[in-house]
Structures are given as C-alpha cells and as structure tokens.
Amino acid sequence: MATSRIAVALAAAVVAIVLVPAVAAAQPGMVPPDPPAPPAERFQRFHVGVHGGLRITGLDEHAAASRAQLDAYGWPSVTSPVLHGYGVDAEYLLAPLIDVGLAWSWARGEHAAGTAWADDRVRTDATLIGAVARLHWSRGRPFIPEPRVDVGLQRVRTVVHATSDTRTTPYLRAGIDWRLGTRRGGVVLAVGYTITGRAPSGALDLATGGLDLDLGPYLRF
C-alpha cells in the first residue's frame, strides 16, 4: 500500500515538472520574449579612390635598353625618370571576395635633355586605363592589405623637340592596396609593379613601367 502511494506521488511530481510549464507556455501573455535577432550584416559594396603617385621607371625591365637607345642617338643627358601623376579608381564588390572596377591614371616624366635651351627634351605622358580586380578578403576590417591586379591599355605621348607622337600598348600591373582606415573611408597606400608593351622596332621605345607608389583617400559606401 505504501509502495503504491509513493508511486503515485512520483507520477504526480513528474506530471507537475513536465506538463505544467508546457501548459503555462500555451497561455497567452505568459510567453518569455525571444532573444533579439542579430542585425543583418551590411557590406560597403562600392569603393571610390583618388591618388597621387610616383612610378620609378629605373626599375622597369626595359630601363637599361631605353637609356641605351637615347645614348646611342646622342642625347647628352639621359635618365630613367620617376614619373609623377595622379589617378582615380572605382570598384564594386561583385563576389564575396572580389572587387572589380576600372582605374585611370596619368603620369609624366623627362627621359633626356640636350644642350639647347628650348624644347631640347624627351618627355613622356603615360595614361593608363584598365580593369581592376582586387581581393576583398577581409570585409569590414581596417588596415588590411588587399592584393590587386590591373589589366588595360597604356597610351603614351612622347614629346621630342616639342613634337609629340602617341602610341597605345597593353599593360599589366600587380600589387597591394594597403587600406589604412575604416570600412567606410580612409587612405590607401598602394604599391605595385607595372609592365608595359614595347614600341615597334625602330621607334623610340622609352620605359614607362616600373615600381608604383600611390597614396590617396578612399570611400566605401
């Protein structure tokens, strides 16, 4: 008899523990609030930047041949210049990890000088326009180096004795964009190496590639 009472008491306890909360939960006004859902992550998909930069043409693979050509033609003062200029680029975060876009830049430098006072110079203006692909591998974090590749066309305007000539060649640039700022804006320090196509045989073929150093602000939105 005592044993059956104990069994009944245990069964009652189990019912109280298991079923009572379920019944209570089913009652309106007594439901505990759900934890707030985490906010959806918002990416800045557009990147726009401007920069000023230098290109060290002395590190172009063609630099020695370029100087030799000018020396052979008799220019008394020949150098591989540091081109200086500026540029702009705009990209869109297309895939989870890749920015794609366009880049434009312009740079100028003087390769040789003669003995006359006026117009006895060899100067190049190099304008580059190309497609950009950048590894956007750590979204939202600041101070991130992002590998980048540019492929496009270079239009070189060469001025000799105040007479200009232009030609278009392909170029390839590979480097790193070091984003120093927040996810929305800051400064990009870019280092890259540019390889350019060559001029036809017999034409003046000056080195306009080399090591690039660029610095400028960016915005992401």
User: Nearest approach, Cβ of 181 to other proteins (angstroms)?
Assistant: 34
- Measured from the CB atom, the residue of 105 and 158 that comes closer to other proteins is 158
Beta bridge partners of 90: 48, 102
User: Nearest approach, Cβ of 203 to other proteins (angstroms)?
Assistant: 6
- Measured from the CB atom, the residue of 164 and 182 that comes closer to other proteins is 164
Q: Residue 49: which of 145, 151, 186, 149 has the closest Cα?
A: 186
Q: Residue 162: which of 204, 119, 205 has the closest Cα?
A: 119
What is the total residue count of the chain? Answer: 221
Beta bridge partners of 220: 47
- Measured from the CB atom, the residue of 4 and 115 that comes closer to other proteins is 115
Asked if 95 and 68 count as a contact pair (C-beta separation under 8 A), the reply is no
User: Nearest approach, Cβ of 55 to other proteins (angstroms)?
Assistant: 21
- Measured from the CB atom, the residue of 73 and 92 that comes closer to other proteins is 73
Asked if 45 and 93 count as a contact pair (C-beta separation under 8 A), the reply is yes
Sites of contact with other proteins (CB under 8 A): 69, 71-76, 114-116, 120, 158-165, 202-204
User: Nearest approach, Cβ of 67 to other proteins (angstroms)?
Assistant: 12
